[in-house]
Amino acid sequence: MGDRKISVGLCGFGIVGQGVYDHLTRKRKLLGEQLGADIRVARVAVRDKSKKRDVEIDPSLITEDSLSVATDLEIDVVCELMGGTGLALEIVTRALVAGKIVVTANKALLCDHGKELLATAQEHGGHLLFEASVGGGIPVIKAIREGLIINDFSRIDGILNGTCNYILTRMANEGLSYQEILGEAKLLGYAEADESLDVDGIDAAHKAVVLAYLAYGKWTDLEEVRLDGITRVNQEDIRFAEDNGYAVKLIAFVERERQSKALYVSVLPVLVPKSSSLGSVDGVFNAISIHGDVVGETVYIGRGAGRHATSSAVISDIVDAVKLLIFGGPEGRFPFLDPAPKNGSELEIARPEEVHSRYYVRMRVDNRPGVMAEIASILASREVSLASVTQKEVGEDAERVSLIITTHMTTEKAIKETVNDLGNLDSVQGSPMTMPIRNFGEKSEDAWLES
């Protein structure tokens, strides 16, 4: 190992924090030989010292004062692995003000405060690294910032939440309901006790905001993300997809057409071809497809969460931090590196009338003459062209049937108005379920935004 000593402080010692400590400790010699520096975990902040943990650690390294780790002059790299946006924000801010390199896996923190934190890093000579915030062990941020740096990106599509992908995969493979699988997913540890962050799409939306910034240089407010989760997906949707060569996936889309000033960011359940790069990814795996003007499409698949996958990404950032400290200049100083394009402030969020797709609509309707005519009249009034109609009886209820329609290309504005009008019909029970249909690879239907 080299002569340079690098001290790392961990704020948070849960699943990921223990994984980082374990792997850094076990591979300390190997990293030292590769980097010419001795990396050691010098302090670990926990909420409760008495709590039992899976990893053995010298008790003298543990403190319950996380702010003391953030401001300790002897610590070179601070890893925020606590989660949340309260104390975590204070820790990261204090460390950046102290001119330190901060590593975080906290996508919610970046989504809500990324712009101000990067400004703080620039002002005080610190640096903020966040490879583990999107895609777990998939090195997607590094790919965008380094491997694909020469590319302009037309779009990034991703399965960014393993819990949702696991539930949808089992619904397709086993014919079970959403609620049945959710209960099992909680028992297996794939879903939290409060599953809303996952199944409502919020976790994936946080990650989409980070990707949009990295690719286009604009921080998107969470309220500007078109957002819907998987809680309304049922076996009718799954069977329709299967019968027509599709899979239902919760997909994050980040898109900007070339020369366009409009940026589109969404997280929605979508019908995608099973043969596509995202349609074939099952279980707890994440997948991210990046479209660059030079390289074309590149696809990254791997585990998006868990101790080992996420700690791999955190340690990758720690290694980058070590390189900055060793090679950054006199006395270990380093220039602030803006991770995103600088023209993002010119972009505007795409308006509903600018967003184009085919759509799937499922509704339960009265089984009587004239209902289809009412529905067709509403579609015509909104200039939505009908592509197909499928009608099935629902159980033993002879008075109502399940009606599934698909549309030709239309706008987000038109489909929202159509679905609202349909929901107001006396003959339609409840609010219709709708999903975009994406036929990846077909040029006319390969983008949300028109060129």
pLDDT digits (tens, 9 = 90+) for 408-444: 999 999 999 999 999 999 999 999 999 999 986 544 4
pLDDT of 444 reads 41
CATH number of the domain to which 14 belongs: 3.40.50.720
| Residue 13, token pair as written in the block | 């010692």
Give the residue carrying structure tokens 């934190």: 117
Are both 71 and 170 inside the same structural domain?
no
Given 100, 107, 207, 249, the catalytic residue = 207
* Span 240-255, pLDDT tens digits: 999 999 999 999 999 9
Spatial CA neighbour of 156 closest among 313, 353, 299: 299
DSSP string over 283-300:
TTEEEEEEEETTTEEEEE
State residue 153's pLDDT score: 92
Both 154 and 132 in a single domain?
no
Query: Which pLDDT score, from 0 to 100, does residue 431 have?
Result: 93
- 207 noted as active-site residue: yes
> 182 is written with which tokens?
């959710």
What are the residue ranges in the chain where pLDDT is below 50?
A: 442-444, 451
Q: Supply the pLDDT for residue 52.
A: 84
Q: Is 450 part of a structural domain of the chain?
A: no
Domain count, the chain: 3
Q: What is the pLDDT of residue 344?
A: 85
Residues 60 and 123 in one domain: yes
Give the model's pLDDT for residue 160.
96
- Domain contains 344: no
Question: Which amino acid does the sequence have at 148?
Answer: L
What is the extent of the structural domain holding 72? 4-136+307-339
Residue 234 lies in a domain: yes
- Three-state DSSP class for residue 42: strand
Chain Cα centroid distance, residue 66: 27
Torsion sign, CA atoms 378, 384, 385, 390: negative
Question: 234 and 266: one domain?
Answer: yes
